Structure 1
Amino acid sequence: MSIDNDIKRVVLCADDFGMSEAIDTGIIRLAEQGRLSAASCLSLGPTFARHAQALAGTGSQMGLHLNFTESLGRPGLYLPLATLIRRAYARRLDVAVLRAQIQDQLEAFETVLGRAPDFVDGHQHVHQLPQIRDVLLQALAGRYAGPARPWLRSTRAVSLGGLPTRQRAKARVIQALGAAALRRNARRLGFHLNVRFAGVYDFRGGESAYGRLLSSWLERLQDGDLLMCHPAARADAADPLGQQRLAEFNVLAGADAGRWLGQNRIQGRRVHFGQDA
């Protein structure tokens, strides 16, 4: 699956673009630096429309970060994650509401950028939950065809051996919440997905902890894999993850990260998934 003999075909994706000025600025800077190849966008987020063209100018892939857990000041179906999971597994979500909200978020993305998203994933991985994944796949299959069809994020974890216990546990829980079913149903409809997924942790520990994790994740990545991150150029006091977002940005922008990327034959460049494992 490699594009050449030297460079692995890996997606380096920052989540939450469109949530805040600090997040958007950090993602754009890292993309310009060649440390990212993709960003997942909250199309109804307060800053998405203002900064989307600047991100597009970096050449990064831009995807829809499907959102059912953060209202960001807008009306709609936005529930605490645990509540959403319970209702999805009990099949107690209103399908008509799901369909309308997915359509609204896709239309908002298309209105700003004039095209389909390159890929679709979910804020807090909601895209893989029961009911949501079914409605999402139906919407995407009906809306896009051929080269315009987005690929989807799989949360099937990379090899977790040697990672801290709590990080392994969180990655396994996320995977168990819907990776297999999403993959099976998506492939049946002809969608492509990344092969494996890295970047899950507890958003603690500052730069030192994140640096250790990043180095370890990069060593595990192979062709077709995806690394998720959540950087911001400064710590927003209103964001409970603000300090750790800044820590991620500082590590990703630093010389060590550049060296780790080189050692593992990974570059921040666009990846087009024509097949998946």
Structure 2
Amino acid sequence: MTPEFAMKQVEKKRIMLCADDFGMNQAVNDGIVALAEQGRLSATSCLVGGPVFRSGTSALLASGLSSGLHLNFTESMGQAGLYMPVSSLIRRTMFRQLDVQQLRTQIDQQLDQYEDAMGQPPAFVDGHQHVHQFAQIRTELVQALNRRYTEHKPYLRYTWPANLQDTPRAQQFKAYIIAALGARPFATLARQHGYSTNRNFLGVYDFEGGSQRYAALLSSWLQNAQDGDMVMCHPAASIQADDGLGVQRYAEFQVLSSPDLGCWLTAYGLSL
């Protein structure tokens, strides 16, 4: 190995490419496992109430991916509990209108479900539609994690955007709206209690445009990513008819499984 090559290796920026929604449907599970086998992902976030979460855990464990809990308060998927549209959840958490005991119960139940199926604590915790950072929820989540994980704390997702200078303005706006729902207070709370987070966040867009548009977005995100950043994605190996995002999930899978991803990682000095 030449000194020049060794220096380039040292200077590589390590990022996390995390696929959300494992357990939502079989197409999502298949896509995530396939990408893991290709070395195209770092992690996946699990919907423990999803219809195929438990049946997919063997394949997930065998994949070697880091996995965590995708805390859910917006899609019941046939489960009883505290679920509502995200707009209602934002409003009710903002005014501290949720029942605290219900919040605690649901957080603990989902952590229990994850541990029972996976046989281990989650490596990290984030939120479906970013609910983990919402007012009320973030406080109860951190308290639950404090009670359960005194030695090995999971890391937590921080949604403040990374550099978005090459991202269309509409997508920049959406990214900052998500962050405004609690990114900074959540990060402050997490650090006060000794939890690590990613540096900044990428991957927010409107889930439209097919593979060509997603490729352009992903390339720009990777070009601007810095060491410690997280890129969120939502792939699926096929189009699930009853999934409103199914077409775009498949488009993401096509891009993530293409040779282009490896080329971008190399060109921008990144590793997963």
Which of 206, 211, 217 is the aligned partner of 1:207?
Answer: 211
Report the alpha carbon displacement of residue 200 of structure 1 after superposing the two structures with TM. 0.1
Q: Give the equivalent residue in structure 2 for 1:10.
A: 15
CA-atom RMSD, angstroms?
0.9
Q: Give the equivalent residue in structure 1 for 2:256.
A: 252
Q: Give the equivalent residue in structure 1 for 2:120.
A: 115
Which of 59, 64, 67 is the aligned partner of 1:59?
Answer: 64
Structure-2 separation of matches of 1:206 and 1:266:
25
SS at match of 1:57: helix
Report the alpha carbon displacement of residue 206 of structure 1 after superposing the two structures with TM. 0.2
Structure-2 separation of matches of 1:118 and 1:136:
15
Work out whether residues 64 and 120 of structure 1, in 8 Å CA contact, stay in contact via their aligned partners in 2: yes
Structure-1 separation of matches of 2:20 and 2:94:
25
The Cα offsets for residues 104-147 of structure 1, whole Å up to 9 and x where unpaired, read as: 0000000011111000000000000000000000000110022x
Report the alpha carbon displacement of residue 158 of structure 1 after superposing the two structures with TM. 0.5
Q: Give the equivalent residue in structure 1 for 2:103.
A: 98
The Cα offsets for residues 72-109 of structure 1, whole Å up to 9 and x where unpaired, read as: 11111110000000000011011100100000000000
Report the alpha carbon displacement of residue 55 of structure 1 after superposing the two structures with TM. 1.3
Alignment map for 1:195-274 (pairs within 5 Å): 195-268=199-272
Q: Give the equivalent residue in structure 1 for 2:189.
A: 185
Structure-2 separation of matches of 1:266 and 1:55:
24
Work out whether residues 49 and 76 of structure 2, in 8 Å CA contact, stay in contact via their aligned partners in 1: no
Report the alpha carbon displacement of residue 256 of structure 1 after superposing the two structures with TM. 1.1
> Is there any run of 5+ residues in structure 2 with no aligned partner, and where?
1-8
Work out whether residues 31 and 253 of structure 2, in 8 Å CA contact, stay in contact via their aligned partners in 1: yes
The Cα offsets for residues 195-225 of structure 1, whole Å up to 9 and x where unpaired, read as: 1000000000000110000000001111111
Which of 143, 163, 170 is the aligned partner of 1:166?
Answer: 170
Q: Give the equivalent residue in structure 2 for 1:131.
A: 136
User: Between the two proteins, what is the percent identity of the paired residues?
Assistant: 53
Report the alpha carbon displacement of residue 163 of structure 1 after superposing the two structures with TM. 1.1
SS at match of 1:120: strand
Report the alpha carbon displacement of residue 40 of structure 1 after superposing the two structures with TM. 0.3
TM-score, normalised to structure 2's length? 0.95
Report the alpha carbon displacement of residue 266 of structure 1 after superposing the two structures with TM. 2.5
- Kindly tell me the number of residue pairs found equivalent between the two proteins: 264
Work out whether residues 16 and 43 of structure 2, in 8 Å CA contact, stay in contact via their aligned partners in 1: yes
1:19 aligns with 2:24: yes
Work out whether residues 116 and 149 of structure 1, in 8 Å CA contact, stay in contact via their aligned partners in 2: no
Work out whether residues 194 and 224 of structure 1, in 8 Å CA contact, stay in contact via their aligned partners in 2: yes
TM-score, normalised to structure 1's length? 0.94
SS at match of 2:13: coil
SS at match of 2:126: strand
Kindly report structure 1 stretches of 4+ aligned residues shifted beyond 4 Å.
Answer: none
Structure-1 separation of matches of 2:267 and 2:157:
25
Report the alpha carbon displacement of residue 64 of structure 1 after superposing the two structures with TM. 0.2
Instruction: Report the structure number with the largest CA radius of gyration.
Output: 2
SS at match of 2:187: helix
Structure-2 separation of matches of 1:82 and 1:118:
29
Q: Give the equivalent residue in structure 1 for 2:79.
A: 74
Structure-2 separation of matches of 1:109 and 1:162:
37
Work out whether residues 34 and 267 of structure 1, in 8 Å CA contact, stay in contact via their aligned partners in 2: no
